[in-house]
Amino acid sequence: MRIGILGYDNCLGGEIFGFADLLHFANGISLNSRPDEPPPFEVKLVGARRGDVVCATGARMSVAPPDDGLDLLVTPGFGFNVRDRPEGRFAKLGAELDLLRRLEGRVPIASVCVGSFVLAEAGLLDGRDCTTAWLFAPDLAQRHPQARVRPEAMIVEDRGVTTTGAFSATHDLALKIVRERTGEGLARALSRLALLDGGRASQAPYVDARLRQDLISPFAQRVRAALEPHLAEPYDLSALAERLNVSTRTLLRRFKAEAGRTPLEELQGLRVSQAKQLLETTGLSLGEVAAAVGYQDLSTFGRLFSRLAAMSPAAYRRRFRAAA
């Protein structure tokens, strides 16, 4: 399988080399068991034009236009910080966007992390299901309303275009390719060799609403600031509107337009984020955690948590408390 990785100025080298190195390991495992067969993967760094590109961290790489016969083109994300919106970064990528447009339909194309924004700018995500780094999923949906963004998905494939979640999803993409190309056995061996979780299906366990504080509109920030001191209290739309000095109708309409969700959904997200922190950092029982974020009925809390975090509170604690 011939895979090209698209290098461009300000791209994330870690996503390029993490992906390429995993497939290098996969080749090594395969050759160890089948020494008479060629390695299953050939990976090349390609570009829209011949020359050097400079990664976000300053590393310099040489690229050349792809040859005919690629089986996949992978587009990494670009450098950003969590207070940025990934907009205004595409004026210098005209040649890369043209390359993607030329290859659409001829070569399967994938992206890692915010590389999905590059695909979207080229028009490849219009009418397709897709995902991106969860932090910037609302921005992708707002900037490209014809793309059907699935914010919490780890990998989405739609008619020859594959998009993935945040930075480390480059590993999930590599494992997916190994699994589909060579079978479950090699993928399992690779995940064990590289100490990777080969079964991640969702970004939801990693979502922390607090990291988007500076990325939402001023009004949405006001709504969040009015909700946060009252997480454990019953939801009262009228009281919330009164604190914000607006009508309930204005509150619902404006918040939905600016944040893409209702104030109740925002409250539920904040409660789950707070519950995650308590599960990671305290010894509170599940019932005490539920009560701390406004739920006296543990089963109701458990259903909400499982829906938004893609795992139960107990499973989340087992998975993340040791890491914390």
- List, for residues 212-232, the tens digit of each pLDDT value: 766 678 899 999 999 999 999
148-149 vs 129-130, strand pairing mode: parallel
Residue 228 DSSP one-character state = G
Choices 3.40.50.2300, 3.40.50.2000, 3.30.360.10, 3.40.50.880: CATH for 2-205: 3.40.50.880
In sequence order, which residues have a C-beta less than 8 Å from that of residue 147 and are 6 or more positions away? Answer: 120, 125, 126, 127, 128, 130, 140, 141
CATH of domain 208-320: 1.10.10.60
Q: Which residue carries 């999803």 as its tokens?
A: 169
> pTM for this one?
0.88
Place of tokens 């016969």: 69
pLDDT tens, residue by residue, 156-167: 999 999 999 999
- Name the residue type at position 68: D
Sign of the Cα pseudo-torsion (8, 14, 17, 23, in order): negative
* Residue 300 identity: T
In the numeric block, the tokens 């019932």 are attached to: 287
Using the predicted structure, report yes or no on whether residue 323 has a pLDDT greater than 70: no
- The rounded distance, in Å, linking the Cα atoms of 119 and 169 is 16
pLDDT at 83: 65
Around Cβ 153, how many Cβ atoms within 10 Å?
A: 22
Question: What is the Cα–Cα distance from 200 to 56, expressed in whole angstroms?
Answer: 27
Short-list 251, 236, 231, CA closest to 295: 231
- Domain-by-domain residue ranges, the chain? 2-205, 208-320
Which run of H or E residues covers position 299?
helix 298-309
- pLDDT score at 101: 97
List pLDDT tens digits, range 62-113. 999 998 899 999 999 999 776 666 666 788 899 999 999 999 999 999 999 9
Report d(CA 186, CA 199) in Å as an integer.
14
pLDDT tens for 190-207 read 999 999 987 788 999 998
> Would 2-205 and 208-320 be classified into the same CATH topology?
no
On whether the CB atoms of residues 88 and 124 are closer than 8 A, the answer is no
pLDDT of residue 115: 97
- The structure tokens listed for 136 are 């910037």
pLDDT band at 130 (very low <50, low <70, confident <90, very high): very high
